[in-house]
Amino acid sequence: MSPSTLAWVVLVVSGVLEAVWATALGKSEGFHRLGPSIVFVVGLLASMSGLAFAMRDLPVGTAYAVWVGIGAVLTVLYAVATGTEPVSIAKIVFLLMIVGGVVGLKLAH
C-alpha cells in the first residue's frame, strides 16, 4: 500500500472516529456520565492522531475537509437512525452535498 493510499485509509477511519467522539460528547451530558466521557476522550485522541498522520501525506485543507465531512455526515446519520433527530428531504439533500464534496476532494487530489 502506498503512503498516499494509507493516508487516505487512516483519514477515513479517523473521520468515522470523529463521529464516535462527537456522539459520545453529546451522550456524556456535559461530562457527567463516565462511560460516554471515556469514549469521547479515547475517540478524540484516536481521531486527531489519525488526522495528524494523514496530514503528513495529504494537503491540510483537503484532509481536514474530508475528516470533518465524514464525521458530520455519520454523526447526523446516527442521530437520524436512533431517532434523536428527525429526517427530512432537505437534510438528505444537504448530506448528499457534503458526501459529493468529500468525493470531489478525493478525486481532485
State the pTM of this model.
Answer: 0.90
pLDDT one-digit tens code per residue, 56-76: 999 999 999 999 999 999 999
CA distance linking residue 77 with residue 71, whole number of Å: 10
Residue pair 9/67 in contact (Cβ under 8 Å)? The answer is no
Q: Give the domain range for residue 69.
A: 3-108
Please tell me the predicted confidence (pLDDT) of residue 71: 96
- The total domain count for the chain is 1
Compute the distance between CA of residue 46 and CA of residue 1 in angstroms, rounded to an integer: 21
CA atoms within 13 A on the CB side of 59: 7
pLDDT band at 2 (very low <50, low <70, confident <90, very high): confident
pLDDT at 108: 87
- What one-character DSSP code corresponds to residue 1? -
Q: Decide: 49 and 3 in contact? Cβ < 8 Å.
A: no
